[in-house]
């Protein structure tokens, strides 16, 4: 007899209520999306699929805010990273990257494996990319050896959002031809992002964060400049080749068997976002993030992100008091209150916990999660002040403009 990998002892009792999944992705999947995927497979060479393919490709362009192509891979976001590298660059090319956190570091490691020459600007994991540093590095690059600038828009490990529009302005101010590659894996569909308007050349993302799907789809939005680079760059590729994808995509098809049921879910997820309105989606995320930070401040704890202009609408990373372990706290919160919080990654292991407030999340869902955090802090013996939940409620009662982070040009 087959048994679940989860033992009876640690499985929540029937009738206990829903598990609170408040990690910064994968995010909870809406019931509408689950129902959309719960259907019989169809012929991926037939007319019904062709209609679906055209709809999701057009819908993705709307979410990325681009009229340029968006390629959908059966992959994780890591696959989308790789596609950006192998379609635009050549072995030995120099790439400028910035150490904003764990995922920026992983992208740098991938670039090094592909034998790129990475200029990795060090960072403290509490700030985003400094556009002035990008401009200075590019101004110094008189020979234009740097072929691309690659940055993470929303660093999932830290709760810091970099100012991509300002980074584009810095590249332009330096009068430098480098491509701009941006990771929106944890921001797309939750944080305002404009691929065309901001002059991004390649934007990569995935399905399991703001798009509210299970893992399994990777996305790459491509500018004309990036597409031109892909015609003459030096990396071999097959699965990741944009050209091989774009030819059948023009008719709504894919060059190999697609993740059909995930695409049905993607269509529904895009419909959900557009029904609410993208601007309203972004405002909701900002409002929930502001309420979360109000709770953290009331608890007497510290948000990891240092710059208010870079506060993430997707998640809030919270520093633990000295001599207290974040994972021990997370374990207590999970066992007593059935809430999952994000762990600290790499150099932040044990030092922070992360509260996800992205995707299908509203005020009542957030208040339940913050209640779980406050009860968990008490149960784990973490020094804090009570009143975080009340502070979050007060923040939510304020006009939306009061909760909005400072606008950045």
d(CA 205, CA 293): 26
DSSP alpha helices (H): ranges in 316-362?
A: 326-337
Contact in structure between 150 and 107 (CB atoms under 8 Å): yes
Contact in structure between 123 and 102 (CB atoms under 8 Å): no
The answer to whether 385 is a known ligand-binding residue is: no
Strands 179-183 and 202-206 come out as parallel
How is residue 223 written in tokens?
């500018």
261, with CB counted inside 10 A (0-12, 13-18, 19+), is middle
Contact in structure between 342 and 354 (CB atoms under 8 Å): yes
d(CA 176, CA 169): 11
Task: List beta partners, residue 155.
Answer: 160
d(CA 404, CA 400): 6
How is residue 131 written in tokens?
């556009």
Binding-site annotation, residues: 354
Binding-site annotation, residues for substrate: 354
């Amino acid at each position: 007899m087959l048994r679940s990998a989860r033992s009876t002892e640690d499985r929540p009792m029937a009738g206990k209520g829903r598990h609170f999944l408040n990690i910064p992705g994968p995010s909870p999947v809406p019931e509408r999306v689950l129902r959309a995927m719960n259907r019989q497979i169809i012929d991926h060479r037939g007319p019904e699929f062709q209609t679906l393919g055209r709809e999701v490709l057009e819908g993705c362009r709307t979410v990325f805010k681009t009229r340029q192509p968006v390629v959908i891979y059966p992959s994780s976001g890591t696959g989308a990273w790789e596609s950006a590298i192998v379609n635009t660059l050549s072995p030995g090319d120099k790439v400028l990257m910035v150490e904003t956190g764990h995922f920026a570091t992983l992208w740098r490691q991938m670039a090094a494996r592909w034998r790129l020459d990475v200029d990795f600007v060090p960072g403290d994991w509490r700030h985003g990319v400094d556009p002035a540093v990008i401009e200075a590095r590019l101004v110094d690059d008189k020979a234009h050896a740097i072929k691309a600038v690659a940055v993470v828009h929303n660093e999932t490990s830290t709760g810091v959002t970099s100012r991509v529009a300002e980074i584009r302005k810095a590249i332009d101010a330096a009068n430098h031809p480098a491509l701009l590659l941006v990771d929106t894996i944890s921001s797309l569909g939750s944080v305002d992002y404009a691929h065309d308007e901001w002059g991004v050349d390649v934007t990569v993302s995935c399905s399991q964060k703001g798009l509210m799907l299970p893992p399994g789809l990777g996305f790459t939005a491509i500018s004309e400049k990036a597409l031109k680079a892909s015609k003459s760059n030096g990396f071999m590729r097959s699965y990741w080749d944009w050209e091989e994808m774009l030819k059948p995509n023009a008719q709504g098809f894919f060059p190999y068997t697609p993740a059909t049921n995930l695409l049905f879910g993607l269509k529904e997820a895009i419909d959900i976002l557009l029904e609410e309105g993208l601007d309203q989606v972004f405002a909701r995320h900002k409002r929930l993030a502001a309420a979360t930070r109000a709770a953290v401040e009331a608890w007497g704890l510290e948000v990891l992100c240092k710059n208010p202009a870079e506060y993430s609408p997707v998640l809030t990373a919270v520093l633990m008091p000295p001599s207290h372990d974040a994972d021990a706290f997370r374990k207590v919160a999970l066992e007593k209150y059935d809430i999952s919080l994000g762990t600290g990654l790499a150099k932040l292991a044990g030092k922070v916990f992360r509260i996800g407030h992205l995707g299908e999340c509203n005020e009542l869902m957030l208040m339940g999660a913050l209640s779980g955090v406050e009860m968990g802090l008490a149960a784990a013996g973490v020094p804090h002040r009570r009143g975080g939940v009340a502070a979050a409620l007060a923040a939510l009662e304020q006009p939306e403009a009061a909760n909005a982070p400072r606008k950045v040009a």
